[in-house]
Amino acid sequence: MNNLKLSSGYSIVNFNYNKYQLREIFIEGLNQRLKLKNKLELNEIHHQFDVKNNFEELRQQCFLIFKTQRFKESYLSIARDLIETFFSKSALVQKFPTIRIQSPNQSAAPYHNDNWFGHGKDVINFWLPLSQIDKYNSLRICKNKNENQYCLDYIVKNKLSLSKINSLLKQKCEPVVLNENEILCFKTSTLHGTEISKSKFTRFSIDFRIAPSQSKLGTKPINNFYNVNELDNHLSKKIKKKKQKQKRIKAFFYTNLCNFKSAKSQLMLCVSYCKDNNIDIVGGDSEILIFDYLPVLRNNLENKNIDAVVVFGVDIFSGNKKLAKSILELAGKNKKKIIFCAESVLFSDDKDKKIILKLLK
Ligand SMILES: [Fe+2]
C-alpha cells in the first residue's frame, strides 16, 4: 500500500471523485424516484421531502439507486482506481457501499470502530460525502492514535455500557470536515460516530471498505467483496452486455431440521435473499426428518428443471462434514448450485467446497 499515511489512524486523501458523477447519479435518481417537483439539492432535501417521517423510504430508494447500472459503474470505477492507487492486485472491495443520510436534528450513529463488527484490522474504511458537510453534520473520529488505544482498552477493561461508551467517545472524537474531492480513510481500529446534527444541511455520504487481501477480511464473508478480477469483469463492457442477457436462476427452497430453526424462519430468510438476488423460486420441499442422509435434498439436486437449491445456511448439515461433502459432491456432479442464505455463500463448483466445509462447526 502506498501514500495512505495512516499512522494516526486516519488520513484525508485528494481524489477527484466528482469525475465519477456520484452526486449527479443520486440527484437524478432521487428526483425521479421521489417525484420531486423542483431540482433536488441533496443538502436541501429536507425542504422538499419529509426525511424525518419517511427516512426508511428514502434509504430504500438509495438502495435501488445502488442497483442501477450507472451507479454500479461509477462506484466500481472509484473502487478500482483507489485499489490501483493505494493497494496491490490482491485487494478486495465491498460489493456495495453503505448510504448514510442525516438531516437537521436527526439522531446520530453510535460511536464504535469497525473491528467491533468483524472487519479485519488491516481493512481500510473510505468515507465519501455526497453533499456539503460542515462540522455539525460530519463524521467524528478519534484523531489521536494513543487516545484511541486508551479508549479501546478502557472500554474493554471496564466493560462499559453502550451509553457510557458514547459519553466517553463524545469527548474524544472530533468532526472531520472535508473539502470537495477529498476522501476520508481510516483504520478499522479508529473510533468514530456522529452527533445529533445541528447543521442546517442534510448530509448524504457513502462508505465502503477495501481489504488488502482475502486473508485480511476478518470475519466478513468473502461473498460480500469483489476481487480485482471480478471488478475488472464488471467494468468491462463486453461482460456487462453478456450479463444483461444472463438468465435468472430458477431454484427450489429446501428446509430441514437446521439446528432447530423453524421452517418459517428458514423460509423467511430464503425469500428475502432470493428477492435481493434475482432468484426465481419455482417450488420447494421439506426434508423427511427421520432420514439423516437428506434424501429430499438429494432428489432436488437431481431435478433437471432447476438451477439451484436455496437453503437457510450450513446448519442444514447439522455439523456433519461427511454428509456435507457428499451433498456438495452430488451438487457439483449435477451442476446444481446450492445457495446458503445465512452465510451469503453460493456453492457452484468444487472450489467453493472448502469455504462451505470451513463454515461447518
Ligand atoms: Fe463504522
* pLDDT tens for each residue of 108-136: 789 999 999 999 999 999 999 999 899 99
Radius of gyration of the chain (CA): 23
Distance CA 275, CA 137 (A): 34
Distance from Cα 67 to the centre of ligand 1, integer Å: 22
Provide the 10 A C-beta neighbour count for residue 37.
7
Bridge partners (DSSP) of residue 12 are 184
Distance from Cα 192 to the centre of ligand 1, integer Å: 7
* pLDDT tens for each residue of 9-38: 999 998 887 789 998 999 999 998 888 888
Provide the 10 A C-beta neighbour count for residue 120.
19
Q: How far, in Å, are 169, 252, 253, 314 from residue 267 at the CA level?
A: 41, 11, 8, 14
Distance from Cα 290 to the centre of ligand 1, integer Å: 45
Domain 10-241 listed as CATH 2.60.120.10: yes
Distance from Cα 170 to the centre of ligand 1, integer Å: 15
Domain with CATH 2.60.120.10 in the chain: 10-241
Residue ranges with CB less than 5 Å from ion ligand 1:
114
Percent with pLDDT over 90 in the chain: 71
| Per-residue model confidence (pLDDT) at position 15 | 84
Q: Please state whether beta strands 337-340 and 279-286 pair in parallel, antiparallel, or not at all (unpaired).
A: unpaired
Distance from Cα 114 to the centre of ligand 1, integer Å: 5
Domain with CATH 3.40.50.1390 in the chain: 247-359
Distance from Cα 223 to the centre of ligand 1, integer Å: 20
Fold observed for domain 247-359: Rossmann fold (3.40.50)
Residue 183 in contact with residue 85, Cβ under 8 Å?
A: no
Distance CA 12, CA 73 (A): 24
pTM beyond 0.85, yes or no: no
Q: Using N-to-C axis directions, what is the helix angle for 69-86 and 228-235, rounded to 10°? A: 140
Q: Torsions phi, psi of 281, nearest 5?
A: -90, 125
Distance CA 329, CA 311 (A): 16
Distance from Cα 310 to the centre of ligand 1, integer Å: 31
Distance from Cα 136 to the centre of ligand 1, integer Å: 18
Distance from Cα 190 to the centre of ligand 1, integer Å: 9
Residue 56 C-alpha cell reads as 426508511
Distance CA 217, CA 355 (A): 14
Amino acid at 210: I
* Furthest CA-CA distance within the chain: 64
Distance from Cα 109 to the centre of ligand 1, integer Å: 9
Confidence of residue 242 (pLDDT cuts 50, 70, 90): low
Provide the 10 A C-beta neighbour count for residue 291.
11
Task: Identify the DSSP state of 285.
Answer: E
Distance from Cα 80 to the centre of ligand 1, integer Å: 22
